[in-house]
A and B are shown apart, each in its own frame.
Chain A
Amino acid sequence: GENVEQHPSTLSVQEGDSAVIKCTYSDSASNYFPWYKQELGKRPQLIIDIRSNVGEKKDQRIAVTLNKTAKHFSLHITETQPEDSAVYFCAASIIGGATNKLIFGTGTLLAVQP
């Protein structure tokens, strides 16, 4: 069935370092890949997304890369700051299918040490 694997489950970095979170999806029909940031007790917030016709997308300190052949996509955060500390979820979806449900990964707890 549809599945998204996410690694690592926890990631601790020093302020100013880079952080990379990786996801693998199973359904080759997936064509939309959002990343959500969820702070403790808060709603998931969309931080960046990418469609399957694009290999890379960047927004300031955040970038996402997609390898359709390998069915991998990754989140890259540069110059990390303490306020980047949160749980990050990747997700995959099929836009244009019967329903554009999001299949989420299991989450990565990112801790940025000052």
Chain B
Amino acid sequence: ETGVTQSPTHLIKTRGQQVTLRCSSQSGHNTVSWYQQALGQGPQFIFQYYREEENGRGNFPPRFSGLQFPNYSSELNVNALELDDSALYLCASSTDQLIETQYFGPGTRLLVL
């Protein structure tokens, strides 16, 4: 198992609500990427944080936002939840943005009703 942890493990929200998901990266890792994995599909890149700055963003609307803290842990915030936001949200950490290996956390399963 990797040292990447995520919380909560499961979450149920209703349309229009807001949610915050959390990720603690593996010790020594300063880069965190977030991915959305819909049922039966591969993970889709949301954005990446490197040393507390956003360092690249996928094709997701602005209501998906994030933060990275000085200890390199990270948050993913989603506003105005839609039914299609129901998915497994994965964070992955790596030693550096130039280092290829990304280690995934266990994910947060979000259900929007």
Q: Which A residues are within 8 Å of any B CB, using their own CB?
A: 4, 6, 32, 34, 36, 42-46, 49, 51, 89, 91, 93, 95-96, 98-107
Q: How many residues from B make CB contacts under 8 Å with A? A: 27
Name 24 A/B residue pairs within 8 A (Cβ), A-sorted. Answer: A6-B42, A36-B104, A43-B2, A44-B104, A45-B104, A46-B101, A46-B102, A49-B101, A89-B43, A95-B98, A95-B100, A99-B55, A99-B97, A100-B97, A100-B98, A100-B99, A100-B100, A100-B102, A102-B35, A102-B102, A104-B35, A104-B43, A104-B44, A106-B42
The chain A residue with its CB closest to the CB of B103 is A46
C-alpha spacing A49/B43, complex, angstroms: 17
B33 within 8 A of A: yes
Not counting A95-B99, A100-B98, A104-B42, a sample of 16 additional A-B residue pairs whose C-beta atoms are within 8 angstroms of each other reads A4-B42, A6-B42, A36-B104, A44-B104, A46-B101, A46-B102, A89-B43, A91-B42, A93-B100, A99-B97, A102-B45, A103-B45, A104-B43, A104-B44, A107-B40, A107-B42
A49 — which chain B residues lie within 8 A by C-beta? 100-101
B94 within 8 A of A: yes
**Chain A proximity of B36: nearest CB distance (Å):** 11
C-alpha spacing A5/B101, complex, angstroms: 21
C-alpha spacing A34/B41, complex, angstroms: 17
Q: Which B residues are within 8 Å of any A CB, using their own CB?
A: 2, 33, 35, 40-45, 48, 55-56, 58, 90, 92, 94, 97-107
The count of A-to-B residue pairs whose CB atoms sit within 8 angstroms is 67
User: Are the CB atoms of A43 and B45 closer together than 8 Å?
Assistant: no
